[in-house]
Chain A
Amino acid sequence: DAGVIQSPRHEVTEMGQEVTLRCKPISGHDYLFWYRQTMMRGLELLIYFNNNVPIDDSGMPEDRFSAKMPNASFSTLKIQPSEPRDSAVYFCASSFGRGNQPQHFGDGTRLSIL
């Protein structure tokens, strides 16, 4: 079974540039989550979708961040303009159903903003 696929694995760019992170969830999963991981703050939920509809975006840090899910097999997280403090590992996860169903994580995108 293919897991959650994220691209790119690594991204290095200069501040002010637009960054787009991509995620393909596991087929059949109806929930998709975006997380950010840093040493200082640990794992933070940014936003999650159910059936392609954003349900909770209260974790999105600023208007510079936006996320879309145009269909059940693809989601993007965009940062525009990027800043050095956005440097982190960004994870996408998907799950089927609510509550006690486990989330399956991708390998993450390591983002460095210079």
Chain B
Amino acid sequence: GNSVTQMEGPVTLSEEAFLTINCTYTATGYPSLFWYVQYPGEGLQLLLKATKADDKGSNKGFEATYRKETTSFHLEKGSVQVSDSAVYFCALTSRQAGTALIFGKGTTLSVSS
């Protein structure tokens, strides 16, 4: 079946540090991949997406590249800020799975100044 696996958190970094959050997936067919972010007390917001192999999604300094050969979609940012502290979710959809998103369990990021 379709599934998403994220690295366990929490991830604790100092401001301006480099961030990587690992995400791997299992899917039939050709899924679309997403990163969502959830700030405290809020709903999820789309951070970036990629719809085919080798696509790179980017937004607000975050990037992720759709790697079909390694079935991965790792999230990276070169220099994190305190305001990036949130929970990050990797997710996929595929035509075979229908329209619904399949989420990973989320990774909590805490950035200190």
Contact = CB atoms under 8 A, between A and B. Distances in A.
Interface of A: 4, 31, 33, 42-43, 45, 48, 50, 55-56, 91, 93, 95, 98-100, 102-108
Contacts of A98: 95, 99
A107 B41 contact: yes
Contact of A56 (B51, B98, B103): B98
B43 A33 contact: no
Given A100-B51, A103-B44, A106-B43, 19 more contacts: A33-B100, A43-B89, A43-B103, A43-B106, A45-B100, A48-B99, A48-B100, A55-B98, A93-B43, A93-B44, A98-B99, A99-B32, A99-B94, A99-B99, A100-B32, A100-B93, A105-B43, A107-B42, A107-B43
Q: What's the dominant secondary structure at chain B's contact region?
A: strand
B19 to A, nearest CB: 21
Contacts of B94: 99
Contacts of B98: 55-56
12 contacts: A33-B100, A42-B104, A42-B105, A43-B89, A48-B100, A55-B99, A98-B99, A99-B95, A103-B44, A104-B46, A105-B43, A108-B42
B49 interface: yes
Contacts of A45: 100-101
B96 to A, nearest CB: 10
Contacts of A104: 46
B89 A105 contact: no
Nearest to A4: B43
Nearest to A45: B100
Interface string B73-113: 00000000000000001000111001111011110000000
| A-B CB proximity, top 7 nearest | A105-B43, A100-B32, A102-B46, A42-B105, A105-B44, A43-B103, A100-B51
Contacts of A106: 43
A43 B89 CA distance: 10
B34 interface: yes
Nearest to B41: A107
A100 B44 contact: no
A102 B98 CA distance: 14
